[in-house]
Amino acid sequence: MRPSVLAARSERGAALVELAIVVPLLVPLMAVVMQFGIAFNYKNQLQHLAAEGARFASVDRNPGSASSLTLQNYLKSQAVGGELTSGGTSAVPTPANFCITKGTTAGDPVTVTATVSFNWLPIVNPDVTQTTLRGSATMRMERLGSSYSEGCSTP
């Protein structure tokens, strides 16, 4: 036989061995990258909703009042996806919580804080892998707030 044919036969199955070595390393890495993507998406949503809520509160506007929603619950209803809105999954066991703190006169700051508990790897012990994702925004009140109230959203 020619030497090139012998060399090709001696490498037969090498790709399968390389795959068997790489897959156990690659799959957990992909899972961690996906978890970071989900966490950053939720963090961005919380920050956006907190900023939207602070803007509504600063101009004394409650878009949820027509449907008898508090501003806090209106913000919760605006979250994309069911996990932040209602929780109940292994990654997000409880819904996001929105809290408003306002001053007593126009010109005082109004702060909206959005938080949610997030389990990084739900298959691992949640006591070890749980963290709180947070978004917060502060603006000056242009008018004294009367169409919304201080406090946190209801579960």
> Which backbone phi and psi does 104 adopt, to 5 degrees?
-105, -15
> Which backbone phi and psi does 112 adopt, to 5 degrees?
-115, 125
The model carries a pTM of: 0.81
Element containing residue 112 per DSSP (H, E): strand 109-119
* Predicted confidence (pLDDT) per residue in 50-81, tens digit: 999 999 999 988 887 666 688 999 999 999 88
* Predicted confidence (pLDDT) per residue in 87-106, tens digit: 888 889 999 999 999 988 88
pLDDT of residue 8: 54
CA 64 to CA 147: how far, in whole Å?
A: 10
Between 90 and 6, the more confident residue is: 90
